[in-house]
Amino acid sequence: MSAPLLDIQGLNIAMRLARGGRLPIVNDLSLTLQAGDTVGIVGESGSGKSLLSLAVMGLLPPAAVVSGRILFEGRDLLSLDDDGMSEIRGRRIGMIFQEPMTALNPAMTVGDQIAEGLVRHEKLSWNAARDRAVELLDRVRIPDPKARASAYPHQMSGGQRQRVGIAIAVAMRPALMIADEPTTALDVTVQAEVLEILDDLCQRESMALMLISHDLGVIARMCARTLVLYAGRRMEEGATRAVLTGPLNPYTKGLLRAVPRRRADDGPLETIPGSVPGFARLPAGCVFSDRCLDVVAACQAGEPAWTSPLPGRGVRCIRAGEEVSA
């Protein structure tokens, strides 16, 4: 087996506090992606999922303290300096953001923004790069790409801007694409189109995708594997279908139950009681123990270890074993 494309081992991220001390956010996170893999990172606000993507991009805020390893194509990203990182970022790792407007330059035509990276990294001439930009706009299914290449971001709709964002990210044919809530701001029909474009690109270019989303449906649509995060910990991992149809961790189960759906008996929707705790006030033991419906005394005794009760599955719950045998 070849070396993995991205190999995150024992990643910990803490934030230095203004008043001194450190607040641990991401704890003991490991994740491996082969070329062409699609992995969904599921988490609610305060799960640390965005910090994870920023860590891989080398874009963590200065107050972050990182330990562990992020091996990408064999190089440890955490030990790279800024120059080395920006060499990889954009060229080998592309990124798509939630609100493309903030990631686009309002004073530059979208065609030039796509071409810019090609000129800088691939040493294309501006003319050749602009031609490539038109091709890329066509690839992300922007109608009349030649004319739209000379449009400015504000002249486009949200869906079109997100397509431009994707075109910029794929221009360098990255081996890994990180998409942080790429369709959250879009309408459902536009979201479906953008997801299809992304899906096409992954398949055609055998690009690996790390999709971060709070929407389990989007993950089900896009990702072969799923990693569920809660309060900075991975709670469950496995093939998406297996995780969503046979969850082992009570948190995953709770999330799935909380997906709004019509109840036959018109009874109340199922919920997870309470709300996501702040990182400063996590419960003792298992971080989910204060909201868990299956909690037992042992849950509060210590943080459960990451175990693999089934092949290809990982879970952090002391009661997962009962679940598997049941």
Partner 1 sequence: MKTPLIDIRRLTRDYAGGGLFAKPSLTRALDDLTMTVEAGTIHGIVGESGCGKSTLARILMALDKPTSGDVLFDGEPLFQLSPKDLMRKRRDFQMVFQDPFGSLDPRQRVARIVAEPLHVLEVKPSRQEKRDRVMALLEAVGLTAAQADRFPHEFSGGQRQRIAIARALITEPKLVVADEAVSALDLSVQAQVLNLITRLKRERGVTFLFITHNLAVVDAVADQVGVMYRGRLVESGPARAVFERPLHPYTQVLAEAEPSVTKFGRPPRAEPKTSQPLKAEPGQGCAFLPRCRLASPRCASEVPALRSVLPGRQAACHHAETMLAEEP
Partner 2 sequence: MSAPDLPHAPAARQRPPLRPNLVIGGAIVLFLFSVALLSLVWTPLPPTKMQIVMKLKAPLEKGLFGTDHLGRDIASMLMAGAWNSLSIAVSAVLLGAAAGTALGVTAAARRGLFEAISMRANDVIFAFPPVLSAMMLGALLGTGRGTAIIAIAVFMVPVFARITAGAAAQVWARDYVLAAMSAGKGRALITVEHVLPNIANQIIVQVAIQLGLAILTEAGLSFLGLGMAPPAPTWGRMLADSQTYLGTAPWLALMPGLAIALTVFGFNMLGDGLRDLLDPREKGRS
Cα separation of the two ends of the chain: 34
Q: Min. distance of Cβ 289 from partner 1 in angstroms?
A: 15
Handedness of CA 49, 217, 278, 227 (dihedral sign): negative
The phi, psi pair for 44, rounded to 5°, reads -90, 180
Output 250 or 285, the one with its CB closest to partner 1.
Answer: 250
Interacting partner of 281 out of partner 1, partner 2, none (Cβ under 5 to 8 A depending on kind): partner 2
For the chain, the residue count is 326
Among 28, 44, 112, 135, binds partner 1 (CB under 8 A): 44
Q: Between β-strands 176-180 and 208-213, what pairing exists: parallel, antiparallel or unpaired?
A: parallel
Q: Min. distance of Cβ 205 from partner 2 in angstroms?
A: 25
Question: Which tokens is 175 given?
Answer: 């081996």
Q: Counting contacts by CB under 8 A, is residue 191 touching partner 1?
A: yes
Interacting partner of 255 out of partner 1, partner 2, none (Cβ under 5 to 8 A depending on kind): partner 1
- Find the part of the chain contacting partner 1 (CB under 8 A) among 6-14, 126-134, 142-150, 237-245: 237-245
**How remote is the C-alpha of 227 from its chain's centroid?**
10
| Alpha helices per DSSP H over 30-173 | 49-57, 82-88, 100-103, 110-122, 126-139, 145-148, 158-170
Among 50, 122, 205, 270, binds partner 2 (CB under 8 A): 50
Among 8, 178, 179, 255, binds partner 1 (CB under 8 A): 255
CA distance 246 to 21: 40
Look at residue 297 and give its three-state secondary structure: helix
Which DSSP letter does residue 261 get? Answer: -
x-or-dash pattern for partner 1, window 274-303, by CB under 8 A?
-xx--------------x------------
Q: Min. distance of Cβ 131 from partner 2 in angstroms?
A: 31
Question: Which tokens is 71 given?
Answer: 């091996």
Q: Counting contacts by CB under 8 A, is residue 254 touching partner 1?
A: yes
Q: Min. distance of Cβ 222 from partner 1 in angstroms?
A: 8
Site size toward partner 2, by CB under 8 A? 30
> Within 13 Å and on the Cβ side, how many CA atoms surround 22?
12
Chain contacts with partner 2 (rule: CB under 8 A):
15, 17-19, 25, 45-51, 54, 59-61, 64, 97-99, 102, 180-181, 275-281
